[in-house]
Amino acid sequence: DLLGYATRFEWDKAKYPTTNPVTCLKDLINKVSLKDKGIFALLEFRK
């Protein structure tokens, strides 16, 4: 439910500290996203 997600969203400060500059956060999020995509691809490959 998109509306529920948007209204209850909480930033993960432990994973993505708000004290970091935006460029550092962007790079960290991209790195995690690419890692997750790799894990999902591996799981799909194993099916």
Q: Measured between alpha carbons, how far is 24 from 27 in angstroms, rounded to an integer?
A: 5
* Prediction pTM value: 0.43
What tokens were used for 21?
A: 């500059």
The parent domain of residue 31 ranges over 2-46
Residue 47 DSSP class = -
List pLDDT tens digits, range 1-47.
Answer: 788 888 888 888 888 788 888 888 888 888 888 777 777 677 777 66
Structural domain count, the chain = 1
